[in-house]
Every structure is written in C-alpha cells, then in structure tokens.
Amino acid sequence: MKKLPTSLSIVLTTKAVSRAFKKRMNGLSLDLPADSYRILMVINYKGELTPQDLADFMNKDKSTVVRLLDVMEEHELVLRTICEEDKRKNTIALTKKGKEFLKEIILKEKKMFKELGNGITAADMIIFNRVLFQIRENVKQLT
C-alpha cells in the first residue's frame, strides 16, 4: 500500500471519525447537529466561556456557533449570562439539563472510541493523544 501524505491522512481520518460520530449520536433524547454535541463537550471541558472564545477554540465562525447556541438555549441545554465586566459580552454555561444530555453523548462517544481503538495499545493511545496535542500547539505558531 502506498503511503498517503500526512495532510491527506489527517483529513480522511478526521472526516471518517466525524461521520462515525454523527451516526453514533442517533437515538439521543434530542436530535441536534453534531457540532452542538461538540459545543457541549467544549463548554464542559473549558467551563464558562464567551461565544467568541468557543468559536476560536472550535475553529468555527462565531455566527455559526451563535446559531447553534440559539438552538441549544431553546432546548434549555445552555444558559447565557451577561458579563459583569463588559455588558456587551455574555458567557455560556451548561444547564442541569445540558449536563444530563452530555452524559448521553459521552456514553456513546466512549463506546465508539473503544471500538475505534481495537488493536491499539493503551500506551500507543497515550502517544497518539500527545502527538495530536503537540500538532495543535504547533498550528498555533503557524497562524
């Protein structure tokens, strides 16, 4: 088998994992766009943050993130609060319902990644995650 260029390998793998993720999210108590699930995960990971911070972290357009937040707010998964320091900004946090819904997502995600990790040792997964982290850090230096 011919070796793929690294950039193509990353893109193809990312798209395949993204498709698998979307498929696995079927059957949740709410049917939302896949990026909504990722936003909930990021808020859970990072804590309260502004829509701009969220867009920057996810490498998405702020307007796209705000539209997704609107839908999630309608479903009472997130709460927007006006910043005390700057009334023009607001922060986003998970609601109790959002945290419960996130548990559903995480269960499905863990099962999927357990299956994706078949044939990969725990030590290799640690290295893999370290490499991904370092690539993300290096990208920051390029942009």
Angle at 66 between CA 61 and CA 72, to 5 degrees: 130
Map out the domains of the chain as residue ranges.
Answer: 31-115
Q: Residue 7 is encoded by which pair of tokens?
A: 């950039």
Dump pLDDT digits (tens) for 100-136.
Answer: 999 999 999 999 999 999 999 999 999 999 999 999 8
pTM for the whole thing?
0.82
Nearest to 91 by CA among 100, 83, 99: 83
Q: What percent of the chain has pLDDT over 70?
A: 99
Dump pLDDT digits (tens) for 84-94.
Answer: 777 788 999 99
* C-alpha dihedral sign at 63, 60, 20, 112: negative
Distances (CA, A) of 126 to 34, 51, 107, 130: 26, 31, 20, 6
Q: Which helix (H) or strand (E) holds 81?
A: strand 78-82
Question: Could you tell me which CATH class the domain 31-115 is placed in?
Answer: mainly alpha
